[in-house]
Chains A and B, each alone.
Chain A
């Protein structure tokens, strides 16, 4: 399942809902990304996430389908927020449930690495010096590349 929303989410409730009444799941891995107040040498007051409605949902669904094709996954969920978020607020949640831990760890890592380079979101930071678009990192490309081939 995938969801793109402005509202906050609660990782615990999402995890409980995803695994409720499931007896085939032996491992659940979750990742939550939050807004950090420190970005390098800048103090961030808030961050606004812009996205491409339609493509965002399509791309997240393709990522999830790719993970399901590569690993034996019993259930998965990706939630990504957009709009203005303040430090400490959650941005993204990725939960992967499997029979055993290795596929769950790997698929969750894969989903986050690919999401970072493929899901059409852009971050605009608010700092004391004004607004600044966050630049893509080469390390994100490298992290995504290790899952190719």
Chain B
């Protein structure tokens, strides 16, 4: 699957994107976020703060947890500030 990071979360992880095989034991997007947090202290700090990290799966905003498949595109980002 493809994982993308935007704005200051991209600085925290040090990368704009990465291709990952669905890690062992990870079946949902919240589990994926927790798994990434264990590998990236910068991401972990944001992930564990309430309401800071927003999520899109296959380019759609999600608020509830969703199941992931091997071909999904997941994006993590701070609240948007366009307009």
Contacts and interface: CB of A to CB of B under 8 A. Distances in A.
Given A51-B82, A80-B82, A120 B6 contact: yes
Interface residues on A, range: 20 to 34
B62 to A, nearest CB: 12
A147 B41 CA distance: 38
A133 B11 CA distance: 11
A116 B80 CA distance: 7
Interface hub of A52, A54, A122 (most chain B Cβ within 10 A): A122
Contacts, number: 73
A116 B6 contact: no
Prevailing SS type, chain B contact patch: loop
Interface in A48-62: 49-52, 54-55, 58-59
A115 B82 contact: yes
Interface in B24-75: 56, 59-61, 75
A116 B56 contact: no
B14 interface: no
B83 A134 contact: no
Nearest to A60: B82
Contacts of B56: 52, 55, 120
Contact of B81 (A54, A59, A80, A122): A122
Interface of A: 33, 49-52, 54-55, 58-59, 80, 91-92, 112, 115-124, 133-136, 140
Interface of B: 4, 6-8, 56, 59-61, 75, 77-83
Given A121-B81, A134-B81, 8 more contacts: A52-B6, A80-B83, A116-B80, A116-B83, A119-B82, A123-B82, A136-B80, A136-B81
